[in-house]
């Protein structure tokens, strides 16, 4: 897929209108489907057929979202990315009514990235102060492992099973900042930043 020049946002609540506003502020044409020169409101999903990216930001109901994705799959360009703003529903389950699983936001190409690449990429894209690996060290890898085990047990989905490297780090006492070593190694000097050692 090439550059995203036009997005569609389904849902005009706080999240949907905020997403559309941010897009419009960054010179991206935004059409919001819910009942401003770059921002155009519509109540017709068909108006989203030329969007490069369509983000749903509707009620947090799996059935309602799946129904919407089935409609969007029929309407949207074959190259369009269909995305969800869900905070609690499995994106994998939401994608089942569509014929475009390879166009998920997080369907990454096979390859290798350093931990620094991962953290830097996420900080740049999400504007968060820490990347996920630095944050895991800050929280504590033992706490992260516990969270992953609870998610895996509660959801029964293997994608939430803790990765072997996380278990290995915790078993070895690499718990993050509190131990001076986790994903990154930390100096005893509290003013120092993390080292750039590899995973």
**Domains in the chain and their CATH numbers?**
6-103 (3.40.50.720), 115-179 (1.10.1040.10)
Tell me: the pLDDT tens digits for 27-43?
776 666 554 456 777 88
Tell me: the pLDDT tens digits for 95-138?
889 987 655 544 444 566 789 988 998 888 888 899 999 999 99
Average pLDDT, the chain: 83
Buried b (16+ CB within 10 A) or exposed e, 166-184: beebbeeebbbbeeebbbb
Determine what percent of the chain is predicted with pLDDT higher than 90: 40
Residue 56: which pLDDT band, with cuts at 50, 70 and 90?
very high
Q: Are 95 and 65 in contact (CB under 8 A)?
A: no
- The four Cα atoms 98, 72, 103, 199 give a dihedral, to 10 degrees, of -90
């Amino acid at each position: 897929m090439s550059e995203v020049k036009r997005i569609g946002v389904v849902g005009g609540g706080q999240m949907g209108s905020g997403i559309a506003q941010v897009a419009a502020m960054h010179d991206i044409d935004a059409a919001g489907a819910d009942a401003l020169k770059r921002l155009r409101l519509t109540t017709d999903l068909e108006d989203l057929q030329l969007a490069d990216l369509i983000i749903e930001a509707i009620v947090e109901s799996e059935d309602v979202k799946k129904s919407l994705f089935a409609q969007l799959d029929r309407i949207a360009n074959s190259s369009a990315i269909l995305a969800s703003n869900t905070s609690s529903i499995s994106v994998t389950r939401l994608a089942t009514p569509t014929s475009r699983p390879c166009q998920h936001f997080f369907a990454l190409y096979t390859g290798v990235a350093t931990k620094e690449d991962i953290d830097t990429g996420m900080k740049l894209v999400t504007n968060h102060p820490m990347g996920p690996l630095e944050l895991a060290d800050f929280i504590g890898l033992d706490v992260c492992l516990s969270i992953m085990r609870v998610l895996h047990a509660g959801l029964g989905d293997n994608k939430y099973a803790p990765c072997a490297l996380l278990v290995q780090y915790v078993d070895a006492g690499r718990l993050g900042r509190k131990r001076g070593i986790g994903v990154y190694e930390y100096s005893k000097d509290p003013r120092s930043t993390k080292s750039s050692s590899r995973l």
